[in-house]
Amino acid sequence: MFSVSKKLMLYYVSRKKLIEDRMKKIISLTTKSDHIFKETEAYDMIMYGIHGGKKLRGVLTLLTCEALGGNLDKALDAAAAVEFVHNASLIHDNIIDGDEERRGREGFWKRYGVTAAIISGHYLISLSLSIFRKYGWKAVEAFNRAWMNTLRRGIVDIWRGKTLDEKLYKVIAKLKTGKFFAIASLMGAIAAEKEEYEKIAYMYGSQLGFAFQIADDIVDLVKLQKDKSVLLHSLSLPAFVA
């Protein structure tokens, strides 16, 4: 008999693979079928941008859908879209932060240039929007709200510098990660066609994302304590307690 943790890991690994395969399929269909892209390295470039990562947000979409008795296949495109948005935010964040590495290899902008990174990020955002549209206006609204919150977080980062208190930290953490986990969970409920659970799913995802951001920041804090030269690019727990 498998333990609960073992079952969860097996579930995670299997769903992560499904999401990665769906993302590759979507990119292949959208780039290779476009005559403009056929004469460029667009496919390889976009594939580089979505490579790797935990795919936690996409897995959350599938988990929510299945937990509510929904059809897994109906949620796969939504899970892929959630991950496309996340990857777009990472590509743009790397430009802003000047990070030359991401996920153990060259950052997108470092490999392809800033212009290509900006355009590719916008491409992934537009692609996500076209997918969300298939799930109805509610999904589009949720996507728009999540992306606006991401931009709000970026604006706060710019104008508040490193000045941070507990209240602002909570706001940043919820905007930075909470809202994308929220839309991931919400999309699972929408795909499952369980309207009565949409609000609960959104709230659950938001709190889960908030907790994830705190845990992620604690990891950064440990790194900072070991190496004081670690750069803090944005308002986070390490910046708050350091």
Percent of the chain past pLDDT 90, that is, above it, reads 52
- pLDDT range class, residue 162, cuts 50, 70, 90: low
3-state class of 236 per DSSP? coil
Confidence category of residue 189, pLDDT binned at 50, 70, 90: very high
**What number is the average pLDDT over the span 4-32?**
92
The better pLDDT of the pair 206, 100 is held by 206
Q: What is the pLDDT confidence band of residue 102, given thresholds at 50, 70 and 90?
A: confident
Q: What is the pLDDT of residue 83?
A: 97
Contact 92, 121 (CB under 8 A): yes
Contact 215, 163 (CB under 8 A): no
pLDDT average, residue stretch 152-157: 71
Residue 150 corresponds to which tokens in the numbers above? Answer: 């991401």
- To 10 degrees, the CA torsion angle through 231, 58, 173, 196? 180
Q: Residues 64, 185: contact at Cβ < 8 Å?
A: yes
User: Residue 160's pLDDT is what?
Assistant: 60
**Banded pLDDT at 25 (limits 50, 70, 90):** very high
Helix (H) or strand (E) holding 63: helix 56-67
**Beta carbons of 79 and 59 less than 8 angstroms apart:** yes
CA 86 to chain centre: 3
- Give me 82's structure tokens: 């959630």
Task: Please name each of the domains of the chain with its CATH number.
Answer: 4-241 (1.10.600.10)
Question: What's the confidence (pLDDT) of residue 150?
Answer: 78
Assigned token pair, 89: 């935010």
